[in-house]
Structure 1
Amino acid sequence: MTRTIEIVPYDPAWPAEFAALAARLRPALADAVRIDHIGSTSVPGLDAKPVIDVQISVPALTPDDAFRIPLEGLGFRYRRDNPDLSKRYFREPEGARRVHIHVRRAGSLDEQLNLVFRDFLRARPDTARRYARTKRELAARHPHDGQAYTEGKGPFIWATLRQAAAWAQETGWEPGPDRAQGPDRTDGVSPR
């Protein structure tokens, strides 16, 4: 079955869906340093594919038993064929709502890039709107080609990461609670 790439308007329920998922994950992942909502569904107002992306930061990717066994126990499917060696990748249980779990080493470049990209888009709604337009154009151009869609986002993402790096220096950015949504809200679930 060919999946159609669909970009939908932001759904304010996405943060709550992440929070419910994180509440299931945290008890099973004692070694996780943090669990974060990343990707487009984590940016208020940003149109996105309706997929909840979760980043689980762990002390090390090998051996993988400390996170693989608990995630598989919750029904998540380990994608051993993922070519990105900077993470371990899991998908939702069969028949469940679409979820991508990215397990990365805490403090790694890729872990930090995902967090600063998210936080920069939250702080810059104009950039988030440009990103939404880019994604809609690519989805229209490549509705059944996920690889072309993903590769097409690359130039925008890398240009935005350059801006985000400067912004991080100017603001003293550090990954942490979602300051943009108030002190009582967080998209990062810290250890118990």
Structure 2
Amino acid sequence: MPDSHSSDSHEVNAPVHIEPHDADWAERFAEEASVINETIGAWITGGVHHVGSTAVPGLAAKPVIDIMVGVADLESSRPCIELLKPLSYCYWPYRAEVMHWFCKPRPSHRTHHLHLVPTGSPRYLNVLAFRDYLRTHPDARADYEALKRDLAGRYPNDREAYTEGKTDLIGKLTEEARAWARTRDMKISKPGSTT
């Protein structure tokens, strides 16, 4: 469902469409985070985070709110799959070894993506570092936006190609982000330092 083209699927993936940043995206996240907290709060160990491009002020994005929730582990959080159904979250076993992935309300019209990810796992740390790096590094943000616009123009009806086309740059920026995050965390942990 995220990027697949299953022949037996009745749903067609929504086209890739990039829009200028919208300040309302943060409000849409906050509203959804509140409902998610109420619904699966007992399983949340690492917070509810606005991630992805809609979480980066000034960055153009697909108008889909990406949300990452930190959970203890994938096995113990499986009950959340059923609990989230009444909120119109459709579960799909995409990258099931690292997260529980959902879209809302359906693949052909997505307003939200939800990722339940073990707190402190490499994916959890990478996603947060990547978001924070783009928020604070305008050159990286510009490079990422230029690539996304190019790929959306070339592959409007092929989410798999669009996603694959971002892989190398995301990998490079994530490495830079993790190194930056380690430096930032060391400065924060030093007595008397300010940020």
What TM-score range do you get, normalising by the shorter chain? 0.7 to 0.9
Question: 1:11: which partner in 2?
Answer: 22
Aligned-partner residue type, residue 106 of structure 1: T
Displacement after TM superposition at 1:84 (Å) = 4.1
Structure number with greater Rg is 2
Report Cα offsets for 1:102-150 as digits up to 9, x if no partner.
Answer: 1111111001110000000001122111111010011111111111110
> Which runs of 5 or more structure 2 residues have no equivalent in the other structure?
1-11, 188-195
Displacement after TM superposition at 1:100 (Å) = 0.5
1:87 matches 2:103 = no
2:58 to 45, 66, 87: 45
Retained in 2: the 8 A contact 1:10–1:48? yes
CA RMSD of aligned residues (A): 2.0
Inter-CA distance 59–159: structure 2 relative to 1 (3 Å threshold): same
Q: Provide the TM-score with structure 1 as the length reference.
A: 0.83
Q: Provide the TM-score with structure 2 as the length reference.
A: 0.82
Aligned length: 173
2:73 to 55, 60, 67: 60
- In 2, Cα distance between equivalents of 1:68 and 1:60: 13
- In 1, Cα distance between equivalents of 2:177 and 2:76: 33
Inter-CA distance 3–110: structure 2 relative to 1 (3 Å threshold): same
Q: How does 1:91-102 map to 2 (within 5 A)?
A: 91-94=103-106, 98-102=111-115
Q: How does 1:1-192 map to 2 (within 5 A)?
A: 1=12, 3-29=14-40, 30-33=42-45, 34-80=47-93, 82-94=94-106, 98-172=111-185
- In 2, Cα distance between equivalents of 1:89 and 1:9: 25
Displacement after TM superposition at 1:93 (Å) = 2.9
Give identity over the alignment, percent. 35
> Which runs of 5 or more structure 1 residues have no equivalent in the other structure?
175-192
Question: 2:190: which partner in 1?
Answer: none
Greater shift, 162-171 or 95-104, is seen at 95-104
Aligned-partner residue type, residue 160 of structure 2: Q
Retained in 2: the 8 A contact 1:31–1:66? no
Instruction: Name segments (4+ residues, structure 1) moved above 6 Å.
Output: none
